[in-house]
Amino acid sequence: MTTRDLVLAALFAAIIVVLGLLPPIPVGFIPVPIHAQSLGVMLAGVVLGAKRGTVAVLIFLLLAAIGLPVLSGGRGGLGVFMAPPAGYLVGFVFAAFVTGWISERVIKREQSGLGQIASFFVAAVIGGILVDHLIGVLWLAYGPTNLGLANAFLGTLAFVPGDIVKAVVAALAGRAVMVGYPLLPARA
């Protein structure tokens, strides 16, 4: 990785941290709050690509692991990786990678603007929602909370409408960056 790549990854790690300043919304029937940080993960994937987007998420999770209060609600420390939302946090790494990987392969400069937005949206939905929720649900179902697969799956459905909105925002931002400052073709 070049210095430029590391700076971009650090910038997107900071964006994910800033999105954590928005207060989390407790759902009540599942021990995971609604938060905005998954938008940052989707943005890292669509704008930076698989490698740099994943590095951005890893930097963010390293900051959380060393105890900095970077997670929504001002949480941090190793204990968060054993808490109910831990599956979603670990899923962030895979979500950024898959979102970026799909973006790198599907979005082309010669596509129409609407085609690029649609492609970014599909990448954000597959990586940022499906992959992250799969890992989060498995952790809730079989981790310390032991909710069971059916309850964990039903509980995560509460997040899907908001995550669809986040995927739309990520797609629009990905398109805007593609036009104004095309990082996508420069990804490696």
Which pLDDT tens digit goes with each residue over 131-179?
999 999 999 999 888 889 999 999 889 899 999 999 999 999 999 998 8
Nearest Cα to 83, choosing from 131, 144, 29, 34?
A: 144
Indicate if the pLDDT at residue 185 is higher than 60: no
Helices (H), the chain: 3-19, 37-48, 50-65, 86-106, 113-123, 132-142, 149-156, 160-180
Is this prediction's pTM over 0.85?
yes
Q: Which CATH number fits the domain 3-186, given the four candidates 1.10.150.120, 3.40.50.1970, 1.10.1760.20, 1.10.10.520?
A: 1.10.1760.20
Tens-digit pLDDT profile for residues 143-152: 888 889 999 9
DSSP class of residue 82 equals T
Output the pLDDT for position 188: 47
Long-range CB pairs of 154-160 (<8 Å, 24+ gap) are 155/27, 155/29, 155/30, 155/32, 156/30, 156/32, 158/27, 158/29, 158/30, 158/34, 159/32, 159/34, 159/133, 160/129, 160/133
Give the domain ranges of the chain: 3-186
For the stretch 54-105, pLDDT in tens is 999 999 999 999 999 999 989 999 999 999 889 999 999 999 999 999 999 9
- Whether residue 18 contacts residue 63, with contact meaning beta carbons closer than 8 Å, is answered with no
